[in-house]
Chain A
Amino acid sequence: MMTTLKNIALWFERRLHLVKLYEQTAGHPVPKSTGSWFYTFGSMTLTCFVIQIVTGIFLAMAYVPSAAEAYHSLELLNYTQPLGWVMRGMHYWGSMMMVIVMMCHMTQVFLWGAYKYPRELTWLSGCVLLVLTLGLAFSGQVMRFDADAYWGVGIGAAVGGRIPFIGDQVVHLLLGGPIIGTDALSRFFSLHVFILPGSVLAFVSIHLRLVLGKGINEQPKPGVLVKRDTYDQYYHGIIKREGVPFAAILNKDVVANGILLLVIVALTLFVGPKGPGIPANPPLVIPEAKPDYPFLWLFAAAALLPNGSEVVLFFIFPTVAAIALFALPFISNEGEKHWRRRPVSIAIVIISYLGVGLLTWEAITGPWSPHMDAWSGLPIKAEYVKGRTPLELSGAVVFQDMQCRNCHAIAGEGGHRGPDLTQVATRMTNPQLVRQVIQGGGNMPAYGKNLSPEQTRALVAYLCSLHPPNVPPAREAVGVLKPIGENQPTPSPTPVPVAVRGEK
């Protein structure tokens, strides 16, 4: 019996050379120190990619890549196809986790100096994989083909239209036609299911071949410098002293990947798939259009950077970033690998994460976007109208009716594009408020043409009543000092028509 089995095994071995394959892959020697939790992010990224392929194949069985049908086919997946929502959820959360663990992987190899000699190409192929993965995330959100996706393509076209000289051509190439429609969706579909995954497979092969060929980066020691002349010998020395088979250090990867899979399953079961949101019907003018998490920081930057800096944000910054990433292993090819002796690298990581993190947070709260329904949907709390004069009350109506609330909050409720006006009277005098309302400025439209003098007077009277009971309103600093109360309502001893005093 045993001999028969052995003969069968040998028969396969003579044809497949599995022993040799094992020696070159799972059996190839790596430094023992690489058996570290910090070294598990690469395999986690690959696991996410496998999840994306498997769930993506099943999604493609139901998904119809046409502008007329895509939304409906996603609803079928969500509600009719048994477990379709699970496939969608795992595909969505798998993609989010893929971006996250890929960033962890990149940060780790950056801080561990793994991009230095002789692993330059490993880093470069990883950079290509980063771009491809972000491309998959962006094209994937277009697949959802709801209003966010539709206007997301519109944003892509608008960015394309800003490219000098060839902008128009880029827009038509991107959309596959003159306007956003099914041709645009089909192009992104081809990208998402053929071009990008195929390219990822190719570059993952190169990436892994390089990892096997050049060995995994040993845990760097502070003070041990990489030199092109001596490194190979140094690495062989490590392998000789403490080399172990690659398979022997996979235990932590196995655990980490198991946890990763459980996280994806948990997010799928407890949070569920994303959308589809409002249908992609252009006349439904949507209240907001936001991209998925990986692109929120860009979305925020487009709002927060000074007007006119879009060229910098969309063209110069990505170009410089790409050049920096690709040039890194050549700029810093030798020398110290340990992060403790590379303060600039630590600063780069901290600044990048803080920047992206803060911008993402800003994008989630979106303080620059008008709250499109605030004027019709948010009441003014009683304490901000109580005890007001008829003029001030009619000003409160003007304030609400003229959509001031869409950009200005009162007591934190409303838009946050402009300043919160809860205590505006303590900052601005009556004439200043009149000027601001009529002329606008500082990112506020001028209302001069749209408000009658009576409306302006009432509105400003109301704004002048917005101050806490114990803080007097602002007064003119220059000119003839008029008695308090002549130009602006003030806390007079008798019934006080002023804000935020709540119950007397």
Chain B
Amino acid sequence: MASSDPNEGNAHEMPKYDWRATRRDFLLKLGVGVNAVAAALIGIPIIGYFVSAVVQKKQPTWISLGSIDQFPEESTRMAVFMNPYRTQADGDTAHIPCWVKRAHGEDFTVFAINCTHLGCPVRWFEQSKLFLCPCHGGAFYEDGTHAAGPPPRGLYHYEHKVEKGELVIRAGVLPTLADPNA
């Protein structure tokens, strides 16, 4: 298998080439330099574009969940807010659910919907006063603490306050173990 050169059909004998011919060498080095500058000018914006979501990280912002009157005392209800960073293309995914627990008066706790195990949506069961996760069976008590299953911690809380009769939470960033938001 001596003839492994794919261009063999076209190959012609040629005189030995001196790669170190000085003028060509200079031009080659110049060319490499020009291209290196160009590569940086092209590459930096590309990398910047790609990592912009990390570098210019969006922070949670205050979002109103509406009047506190819609949350009866001693109850836990779902509330839905709009992603503050939504775009038109987000469609339904801009609707972010959370669980609002109102003990009494202005004593609120607002839980993220995401299970702390792997982010699946937990559902509230009023009768047994438990949050259950459908994915791997995580369970949380009424106050969000871990009750059973694989989650490593209790439910994520959103920071919240009551302003002019409205419940306002600090949200907009997906809570994860790396950044529980609050």
Contacts and interface: CB of A to CB of B under 8 A. Distances in A.
Interface of A: 17, 20, 24, 66-69, 150-151, 154-155, 157-163, 167-173, 175-183, 279-283, 285-289, 299, 302-303, 307-308, 310, 368-370, 372, 375, 401-404, 406-407, 417, 440, 443-447, 449-450
A350 to B, nearest CB: 27
Given A172-B54, A182-B89, A302-B117, 6 more contacts: A158-B177, A177-B58, A282-B96, A370-B132, A403-B132, A449-B141
Contacts of B141: 445, 449
Interface string B55-78: 001101000000000000000001
Given A69-B91, A151-B121, A444-B148, A167 B129 contact: no
Q: Which of B9, B94, B122, B137 is packed against the most chain A CB atoms within 10 Å?
A: B137
B93 interface: yes
B113 to A, nearest CB: 7
Given A285-B123, A307-B152, A167 B94 contact: no
Given A169-B54, A302-B150, A449-B129, A178 B174 contact: yes
B26 interface: no
A401 B179 CA distance: 36
A270 B133 CA distance: 34
A157 B148 CA distance: 22
A403 B130 contact: yes
A155 B135 CA distance: 10
B112 to A, nearest CB: 11
Contacts of B33: none
B88 A24 contact: no
A229 to B, nearest CB: 19
Interface string B159-182: 000000000000011101111000
Interface in B87-129: 87-97, 113-114, 117-123, 125, 127-129
A331 B176 CA distance: 39
Contacts of A178: 53, 57-58, 60, 85, 172-174
Given A181-B94, A182-B87, A370 B137 contact: yes
B65 to A, nearest CB: 13
B48 interface: no
Contacts of A443: 137, 148-149
A285 B113 contact: yes
Contacts of A372: 123, 132, 134
Contacts of B152: 307-308, 310
A439 B60 CA distance: 38
A172 B57 contact: yes
A289 B88 CA distance: 26
Contact of A154 (B89, B119, B127, B172): B119
B89 A157 contact: no
Contacts of B9: 17, 20
A445 B132 CA distance: 10
Nearest to B61: A178
B29 interface: no
Nearest to A372: B134
B51 interface: yes
Given A176-B53, A181-B93, A403 B125 contact: yes
Nearest to A166: B178
Interface of B: 6, 8-9, 50-51, 53-54, 57-58, 60, 78, 80, 83, 85-97, 113-114, 117-123, 125, 127-130, 132-137, 139, 141-142, 147-150, 152, 172-174, 176-179
A396 B171 CA distance: 42
Contacts of B51: 173
A154 B96 CA distance: 13
A282 B97 contact: yes
13 contacts: A67-B90, A167-B179, A173-B50, A178-B172, A179-B85, A181-B85, A282-B95, A289-B120, A303-B136, A307-B150, A404-B128, A443-B137, A445-B139
B128 A67 contact: no
B121 A285 contact: yes
A168 B134 contact: no
Contact of B121 (A161, A286, A445): A286
Contacts of B136: 302-303, 368-369
B14 to A, nearest CB: 19
A444 B147 CA distance: 7
A178 B84 CA distance: 10
Contacts of A375: 125, 127
B91 A288 contact: no
Contacts of B176: 157-158, 160-162, 167-168, 171
B96 A179 contact: yes
A154 B97 CA distance: 14
Closest 5 CB pairs of A and B: A161-B176, A68-B91, A167-B178, A158-B119, A445-B147
A283 B178 contact: no
A158 B137 contact: no
Contact of A155 (B54, B80, B118): B118
Nearest to B79: A283
A168 to B, nearest CB: 4
Nearest to B172: A178
A246 B93 CA distance: 53
Contacts of A402: 127-128
Contacts of A445: 128, 130, 139, 141, 147-148
A403 B92 CA distance: 30
A435 B154 CA distance: 23
Contact of A303 (B6, B128, B137, B174): B137
A66 B91 contact: yes
